[in-house]
Structure 1
Amino acid sequence: MKYSILFLILFTFSFSVNGQEDVQFQSQENIYVKPKLVVGIVVDQMRYDYLTRFYNQYGEGGFKRLINEGFNCKNNHFNYIPTKTAPGHASVYTGTTPKNHGIIGNDWYDKSIKDYVYCAGDAKVKTVGSTSDAGKMSPHRMLATTFADENRLFTQNKGKTIGISIKDRGAILPAGHTANAAYWFHGKDEGVFISSTFYQEALPKWVSNFNKSKTVKSYLKDWNTLYNIKNYTESGSDLNDFEEGFTGKETATFPYDLKSLSKENDGYDILKTTPYGNSIVVDFTMEAVKGEKLGADEITDVLTVSFSSTDYVGHNFGVNSKEVEDTYIRLDKDLERLLKFLDKEVGAGEYTVFLTADHGAVDVPAYLETQKIPAGYFGKKAFKSQLNDFMVKRYLASDLIENISNNQIFLNRDKIKQLGLDLASVQHAIVMELQSYEFIDKVYAAATIANATFNSGVEELLENGYNLKRSGDVLYEFVPAVISYGKKGSTHGSGLNYDTHVPLLFFGKGIKHGSTLQKTRIIDIAPTMSGLLGISFPNSATGVPLDFVLK
């Protein structure tokens, strides 16, 4: 009997040890995934409901393929204010918010130089590929690394990074500080992709060849709906009072003769405000993959692609327009074209993709009013006049306010000190004054935002968007569906759901199939990609890896 017990103990011990070895071996095998290429896609101004509203119009190879074969995070949100293009792209790739990466707007008032600065503007570099100043750009104002930067460091710069977009900021910020190159579209009378000396002294041959080709020029043609416009039942009427349209055409209605209209709409720039801008980006992206040999070896490369034309169309025509619907139907076709190309060029199952947006957009307030939904427009001029009158009456000084921009008030701190005033007290007085102003919903002093910790609501979003050195003295937010913008077309920037709720799709190597309604944050994307690749998180990342999307 005792021999049987001894045998049983030895057998159990042996099984446990062998099992442990198997588990250790298995964990080593899955410690990270090495796709040949990571493709990050940002669709500018894409609300989440564009996935669902236009779903039946999409084919099987674009958005639906990403959803059905990948992982769909259905409740993905931005966790800061302002929801603008530059902060959006920076946050997606750095895994943190403007509080840390420093990109607090597309442009902002710089308190130190008393002037505006552009998020990617850099007077120290020169344009490459054009005689214009449109290439004087770099990521130098972004304070954090991107996961693409970390991949470059991890691979000893053997893994390439290329950024591509219509917009300069959409190409530059995602690619990061160590990118091999970033390329963006310069329209006007040239219609070419350009770069800056931050990356290189001359364009590679494949870029020059693309610019010399007739690819861009071929899109100066009619823009009509891809399908019969009667089938576009997911959007409002084509003729309405809520769309801007193009100079030279009386109504914002299909079709649009782009070649003819280009003469009064900045030449090739007209293509930015059509779905053809996205098609051009895909054309150029495919040439980049071939020209740079991206995904050609076992060392992971990173390709960042931003589709900006969706934003231009949304601003011009509005969320509920036929033009927006047609733009997304055509983008779906372009995504299918890109994915098929990657299947062939890199290899099906050898690359990883994520798709998200840099912000959403509000329905045109004038349209919402016709639907009996509270909405409106905030008048900047009247606001500045009213606030200035208050400051003169309260402090007997007319120059205490230095700047008002991006829903922030910058005070003249030198003047405040000269008059012997307490900065915090002046901030608080303005906060109390603005609470009574029409359309202002929330207002906070910088001292409150900087010195408190919020865990919910608009206060948390403001805190995450507040940068101590770059943000203003008083921050304010409008009531829902009120904007400081023209009365035609859509815009964005708030912390409300229509601006914060955007798609997040993962697809390809190392990604599970499935979906979740669990809330995810835009800052979780970069740590997730770092976790997938087994590399360091971006140096200021505050997001967490979404482990449930990874195999």
Structure 2
Amino acid sequence: MRAAPIPATILWLACLAQAACTHAPRAEVAAEAAQVPAPTPRLAVVVVVDQMRADYLTRYRPYFTGGFQRLLSEGRDFPDAWVDHAYTNSLPGHTTVLTGAYPRRHGIVDNIWREIGPAGVELKSAFSVVDRRDGAPYALDAATLPEWVVAQDPRAKFAAIGSNDAPRVYAGQLRGPVFWYARDGRPYITNDNYAPAVPDWVVAFNDGRVRELAGTDWRSSIPAALAAQLRPDDSAFENGDGQRAFPYLAPADASKRLAWLTGTPAADQATLELAALATERLELGADDIPDVLAISLNSLDEIGHAYGPFSHEQTDAVLKLDVALGRFMARLDELVGAGQWVMALTADHGVNTTPEQRRLDGSDEGVRVSQETARELAEAAYAAAEGIEDPVARAAAAARRIERFPFIERAYTEQEVSAFVPDPRTREGLLALSYRPGRIPEHPLYIRDLAVAALGVYVLPKQAVMMDWGTAIHGSPYEYDRRVPLVVYGASVAPGTSAQRAATVDVAPTLAGLIGVRPRDAVDGRDLLEADPGP
């Protein structure tokens, strides 16, 4: 709910302190005050935390002291918030947040997919869609929030910064300050889609602050009372053959530290510090033309895949993010002005609870499927399809064979999915919201040389199944992958908890409403604050 104009009585009391107001009639002053609109925020900030489940906010809230505590205490919390598409992986999730559109509209159906068309079967990704270098066609079919803001007023400024490469999607076709921490350990780079090089102040940040953080050990900050609620730090199913318990010492070899940093909470700390520096250097929010700052935080995803939810490592990362976010918000108060900026925080997806954690919690649910078994499934699908020339019949034969594996809920042909009605309340409806003709998601198998997606088949494992690509993975249409946090914060936002259902597709329209910007194109989401009845 938008906050009401400043109450007349408050303005009257303030007015009494000024000599010029002492002779004004009370009724006249009150009438004028009632017509004063709340100022439009000068900066909209969207924060997407990769792989953050909604229950992290409730589970860890007693231990928050920073940004999460501020958001929950002073912002509007939407605890019934969802990712409303079937393939809950990072790039469809990030793109949906920034465009206010479902994958069926913006076209990013998975991190990678098989594109079946006149040219045959091609491997594609979100980055092949947005990459426009060397004459590559730009093919993202929805405009992003930064594009809306700049389209409304070309004088508006934006920046997109991330601990991962999601900001490459955030900018849409805009050129400008887009920086991300590369997976190979190169901190805060860009490419010529956006600029010929990173500016000197980013180079200095990389050479100074990033290297300082990369040389700092990762030690636990978990209070003893919370640590006692967690499974043992050294749990055998975590992190493959790697280290499984604190402390994590920075590599002695300095050449390895920058890559090591990406798997620690310090990567998100660095990203938030760079975002604050960008706000200062680019003068975001410095005038009355609203600007936008889009931030992707990836430490929870890296750590979650390696150690799983409710590990000591994941828990510590959430607590450290709370502190770093609090410092960032305090810096925005200094740079932009308290009450002059707004923020929406959400996630691109959640994550499955590991079968091992389920056992510790007393549940007999959950099964871990090995990569060898996944390959057996793919081989069986190709064997069933062999010799069938008609693509529809070939896909149907493969799908029916896949369904004989006990960990599979359903397998669908593209023809079947194309007939589903979009609806976030049903499994088939979620598939329809993820459906784009000719684009078949590779999730959950990812077997490049035997891609079931290349047969035109969608695969849905049963609930609580964990494909063994990491300690924990996501990507399903089930609640653990789809329930995410969603909090909106700002001076014009009524604090409290909303009972209405929300979705990540609503984030961009909501922020746009707060800064008086209209979406450039049609959107699927809605302005949550316009519809919220308030406290």
Under a length normalisation based on structure 2, what TM-score does the superposition of the two structures give? 0.84
For the 8 Å contact 1:86–1:106, the answer to whether it is kept is: yes
User: Does the residue aligned with 1:517 lie in a helix, a strand or coil?
Assistant: coil
Gap regions ≥5 residues in structure 2: 1-29, 441-452
AA in 2 matched with 1:176: G
* 1:519 equivalenced with 2:514 (yes/no): no
Deviations 1:492-536 (A, max 9, x none): 000101000000000013211121232211111122222223322
Q: CA deviation at 1:321?
A: 0.4
Letter of the structure 2 residue corresponding to residue 256 of structure 1: Y
CA distance 1:200–1:325, change in 2 (3 Å): same
Which one-letter code corresponds to 1:158 in the other structure?
R
| Residue in structure 2 matching 1:164, options 161, 164, 181 | 161
1:132-531 equivalent positions in 2, closer than 5 A: 140-155=138-153, 157-168=154-165, 170-186=166-182, 188=184, 191-228=186-223, 231-244=226-239, 247=242, 251-260=243-252, 266-369=256-359, 371-378=362-369, 379-392=373-386, 397=387, 416=389, 421=390, 423-455=391-423, 456-471=425-440, 473-486=456-469, 489-531=471-513
Q: Which amino acid is 1:452 matched to?
A: F
Cα distance in 2, alignment partners of residues 123 and 460 from structure 1: 30
1:77 equivalent in alignment to 2:82: yes
| Contact kept? 1:161, 1:179, Cα under 8 Å | no
Q: Is the 8 A contact 1:354 1:506 kept in 2?
A: yes
**Quick one: distance in 1 between partners of 2:340 and 2:46?**
15
2:132–2:138 CA contact under 8 A, matched in 1 = no
Structure 2 match to 1:8: none
**1:6-50 Cα shifts (integer Å, max 9, x gaps):** xxxxxxxxxxxxxxxx99x989947xx621100100111000011
**Cα deviations by residue, 1:273-325 (Å, 9 ceiling, x for unpaired):** 11111111112111111111111111111000111011000001110200001
TM superposition shift of 1:433: 3.4
Alpha-carbon contact 1:139-1:176 (below 8 Å) kept: no
Q: Secondary structure at the match of 1:352?
A: strand
Please state how far the C-alpha of 1:187 moved relative to its aligned partner: 6.4
Identical columns (%): 27
Query: Displacement of 1:215 after TM fit?
Result: 3.6
* Contact 2:380/2:401, CA 8 A, preserved across alignment: no
- What amino acid is aligned across from residue 508 of structure 2 in structure 1? A
- 1:392-433 CA-partner distances (Å, limit 9, x unpaired): 4xxxx2xx6xxxxxxxxxxxxxxx3xxxx3x43444444433
Q: Partners in 2 of 1:434 and 1:162 — Cα distance?
A: 45
Rounded Cα–Cα distance in structure 2 between residues aligned with 1:262 and 1:43: 28
Cα 1:232/1:201, change in 2 over 3 Å: same
- In the alignment, the residues of structure 1 paired with residue 137 and residue 325 of structure 2 have an alpha-carbon distance, to the nearest angstrom, of 27
Uncovered stretches (5+) of structure 1, i.e. residues with no partner:
1-21, 127-135, 401-415
Preserved CA contact (<8 Å) 1:101 1:540: no
How far 1:369 sits from its partner (Å)? Answer: 4.2
How many residues are aligned here?
A: 482
Distance 1:325 1:43, change over 3 A: same
What is aligned with 2:64? 58
8 Å contact from structure 2 (residues 42, 288) kept in 1: yes
**Amino acid of the residue matched to residue 417 of structure 2?**
I
Cα contact 1:234–1:325 (8 A) shared by 2: no
Change (3 A) 1:531 1:123: closer
Distance 1:219 1:105 in 2: 31
- Look up the SS of the partner of 1:116 in the other structure: strand
Question: Do the aligned partners of 1:139 and 1:177 also contact (CA within 8 Å) in 2?
Answer: no
Counterpart Cα distance in 1 of 2:500 and 2:218: 39
Partner Cα distance (1:289, 1:80) in 2: 33
Query: Aligned with 1:541: secondary structure?
Result: coil
How many angstroms apart in 1 are the aligned matches of 2:422 and 2:336?
A: 45
Counterpart position of 1:7: none
Residues 360 and 502 in structure 1, CA contact (< 8 A), matched pair in contact too: yes
Q: Distance in 2 between matches of 1:53 and 1:95?
A: 28
Residues 189-242 of structure 1 deviation map (CA, whole Å, 9 limit, x = unaligned): x74311111112232232222223244333322211124556423421101122
The higher radius of gyration belongs to: 1
Change (3 A) 1:544 1:26: farther
